[in-house]
Amino acid sequence: MICPHCDQNLLRRERTGRTCSKCRREFALEPKESPHGLHDLRIHRLVERLGDGRGLRYTLAQLWYASGRRKLSDGMGSYRAARIGASITIVLFSFVLMVGGAVSPGPGVAVAVVLLVLVNVGLMAARPWFEARSRIRMPAPYEVFRRELLDRWPGIYGGLPSGAVDGTVARSFHGAPQFAVLCSDPGVIACLEANNSPVIWAMMATNRTGALPPDIPVFVLHDASLAGIAFAAKARSVLGKRAVTVGLLPRVVLANASILRLREPRPAAQELDFLRREALSQEEIDWLAAGWWSPIAAVPPAKLVAALNRALGRLPKADDPDQQAARQVGFLTWPTE
């Protein structure tokens, strides 16, 4: 890794104790000990990217998602373990039989080869079963990432990474808001508040429909997930036409390769029934049925702010029938990379 202080390339043995052997200064993160492979310079680069070159603030959860996306597995570790385990078992069993004299080497090897072929063919046929139960999750839980970062970073650099916010930010608009954001994820609300969106847009943000004032447009932000779609549907049922579904929608994720995709085991069939009542394509329903989802908390601040800005720009056309229909299904095209 490169020392964040003197820019020297350090081998593992040259940075014991998280101290550079060249300049004798300490650094915060050791990539060999980090589930995300993090080091100080990578955090600095991620911070610059999340700030979008204009000092946007971001949550530690957004930094967590940004830092871990390159380390995502394909979710098929159990499948590969089954193939390797079965192959080793067959080889060892055959070896024991031949050494013990139960079978001669020639037939023993032949039987072992046949068994290896049969087992691998069987496991290839079972691959869809493993895929249906696969999980693609972040390399480390958020609390592990947060603890890793906060354990030493403030002591080395005097505080959180530049622009980071940790926890709830209270900057809601204190006048009569003209708009509102409804989102179940407090981190998304914290990001908007940290970037002064409530004041700039005369907007309030909350995770409770009961806290919303009457007669103002409400932008509903949600995950591209079963729970997210259900959250948006409930918001529309409570708020009626003033609910503007901003996303994420599965179609947005499917159309944009840069958006983070995670996966849980396939949900039960009864959990999918309500999707037929939503304005979703069969491709979107199949994607959700396969266990895929994408967290809106992973959307970088610049895209989150740009998405809301685009939604605000379309509100003057709210009387247009097409715009009214779009409110119900999520009219927004999210900015791309």
The tens digit of pLDDT for each residue in 169-221 reads 666 566 788 889 999 999 999 999 899 888 788 888 888 898 898 889 999 99
Give the per-residue pLDDT at 322: 43
186: its two tokens? 């407090």
Displacement of CA 320 from its chain's centroid (Å):
35
Distances (CA, A) of 184 to 66, 207, 271: 20, 5, 19
Give the per-residue pLDDT at 337: 42
Give the per-residue pLDDT at 174: 67
Give the per-residue pLDDT at 236: 92
**Integer Cα distance of 85 and 109 in angstroms:** 18
What residues pair up with 205 in beta bridges, in sequence order?
A: 181
- Closest C-alpha to 87, from 113, 107, 109, 126: 113
- What amino acid occupies position 103? V
Contact 262, 13 (CB under 8 A): no
Q: Among all chains, which residue has been given the structure tokens 């989150």?
A: 304
Instruction: Find all residues with CB under 8 Å of 148, minimum gap 6, and list them.
Output: 29, 34, 35, 38, 140
**Integer Cα distance of 184 and 230 in angstroms:** 11
Give the per-residue pLDDT at 293: 96
In this structure, what is the dihedral angle of CA atoms 279, 281, 286, 292, given to the nearest 10 degrees?
-70
Contact 83, 120 (CB under 8 A): yes
Please state, rounded to an integer, the average pLDDT across all residues of the chain: 86
Displacement of CA 165 from its chain's centroid (Å):
18
In this structure, the number of other CB atoms found within 10 A of the CB of residue 35 comes to 15
126: its two tokens? 């079972």
pLDDT digits (tens, 9 = 90+) for 307-328: 888 888 877 554 445 444 444 4
Give the per-residue pLDDT at 58: 96
Instruction: Find all residues with CB under 8 Å of 319, minimum gap 6, and list them.
Output: none
Instruction: Find all residues with CB under 8 Å of 86, minimum gap 6, and list them.
Output: 119, 120, 123
- Closest C-alpha to 179, from 307, 56, 311, 333: 311
175: its two tokens? 């006048």
DSSP 290: T
Give the per-residue pLDDT at 115: 85
Give the per-residue pLDDT at 325: 44
Q: Which sign does the torsion angle of CA 54, 56, 61, 62 carry?
A: negative
Q: Which residues of the chain have pLDDT under 50?
A: 318-320, 322-337
Write the burial class of residue 62 (CB in 10 Å: 0-12 exposed, 13-18 middle, 19+ buried).
Answer: buried
Write the burial class of residue 290 (CB in 10 Å: 0-12 exposed, 13-18 middle, 19+ buried).
Answer: middle
**DSSP symbols for 242-265:** GEEEEE--HHHHHH-TTS--EE-S
In this structure, the number of other CB atoms found within 10 A of the CB of residue 40 comes to 24
**Integer Cα distance of 307 and 155 in angstroms:** 36
